[in-house]
């Protein structure tokens, strides 16, 4: 019951923030729609993981949420560096932000890692489409977007197949790559 309610509330929050379209979009619209959604996804996930990392600190799930939050903190820096260049600026509205905080604070206890797996699998093709439509000069960033999402999937699957620590270990192993990408992006000439 708790998982169903958590899943329903999360989907409702996601639906509120998803852009709606009525016409057949052109490639630029598809690209920008995916880009705005991904920026929103990262912003919402940052908020949720920040709360879950603090709330779960002393549980067996704690290392996973701590590692995930650390990755989202790096993502925030990487995405923040690119937002002006990509002409995107997503801000989580107050209502959605408070809902995510409540879900993060209460929901981490009931969160099933299979839910992460089920969310990421259909989302990856949208990110790959976004990358294929992006300007080649931003390839490092978009390759990173795909890589961090694949790590989320692999870490969540590791939890499903093993323990929360297994997932945390995969995320921790990815963090040096994230730091390298951040360094490369911030050293690139603007």
Q: What is the pLDDT of residue 154?
A: 98
Residue 112: pLDDT band with limits 50, 70, 90? confident
Instruction: Evaluate if residue 174 carries a pLDDT over 90.
Output: yes
Instruction: Evaluate if residue 71 carries a pLDDT over 70.
Output: yes
Token pair listed for 44: 């919402």
24-28, 53-57, 96-100: range with highest mean pLDDT = 53-57
Return the axis-axis angle of helices 94-107 and 27-55, rounded to nearest 10°. 50
Q: How many domains does the chain have?
A: 1
Give the count of beta carbons closer than 10 Å to the beta carbon of residue 122: 8
22 in any annotated domain:
no
Give the mean pLDDT of the chain: 83
For 113, the enclosing helix (H) or strand (E) is helix 113-133
18 in any annotated domain:
no
CB-based contacts of 113, cutoff 8 Å, min separation 6: 156, 157, 159, 160, 164, 167
Residue 77: pLDDT band with limits 50, 70, 90? very high
In angstroms, the CA 16 to CA 110 distance is 23
Compute the residue count for the chain: 190
Q: What is the pLDDT of residue 84?
A: 85
In the chain, % of residues over pLDDT 90: 50
17 in any annotated domain:
no
Residue tagged 């949720």 (tokens): 48
Higher model confidence: residue 54 or residue 150? 150
In the chain, % of residues over pLDDT 70: 74
Q: What is the pLDDT of residue 86?
A: 84
Domain residue limits at 61:
2-10+27-187
In angstroms, the CA 169 to CA 64 distance is 8
15 in any annotated domain:
no
Phi, psi of 83 (to 5 degrees): -65, -35
19 in any annotated domain:
no
Lowest mean pLDDT among 37-46, 106-115, 175-184: 106-115
58 in any annotated domain:
yes
The pTM of the full predicted model, rounded to 2 decimals, is 0.80
119 in any annotated domain:
yes
Residue 153: pLDDT band with limits 50, 70, 90? very high
20 in any annotated domain:
no
């Amino acid at each position: 019951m708790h998982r169903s309610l958590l899943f329903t509330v999360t989907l409702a929050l996601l639906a509120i923030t998803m852009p709606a379209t009525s016409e057949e979009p052109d490639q630029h619209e598809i690209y920008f729609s995916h880009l705005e959604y991904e920026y929103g996804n990262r912003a919402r996930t940052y908020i949720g993981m920040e709360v879950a990392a603090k709330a779960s600190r002393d549980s067996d799930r704690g290392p996973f949420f701590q590692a995930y939050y650390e990755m989202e903190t790096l993502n925030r820096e990487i995405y923040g560096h690119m937002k002006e260049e990509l002409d995107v600026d997503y801000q989580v509205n107050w209502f959605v932000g408070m809902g995510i905080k409540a879900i993060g604070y209460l929901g981490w206890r009931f969160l099933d890692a299979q839910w992460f797996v089920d969310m990421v699998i259909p989302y990856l093709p949208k990110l790959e489409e976004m990358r294929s439509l992006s300007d080649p000069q931003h390839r490092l960033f978009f390759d990173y977007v795909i890589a961090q999402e694949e790590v989320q999937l692999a870490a969540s699957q590791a939890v499903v197949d093993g323990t929360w620590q297994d997932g945390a270990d995969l995320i921790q192993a990815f963090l040096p790559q994230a730091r390298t990408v951040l360094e490369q992006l911030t050293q690139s000439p603007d």
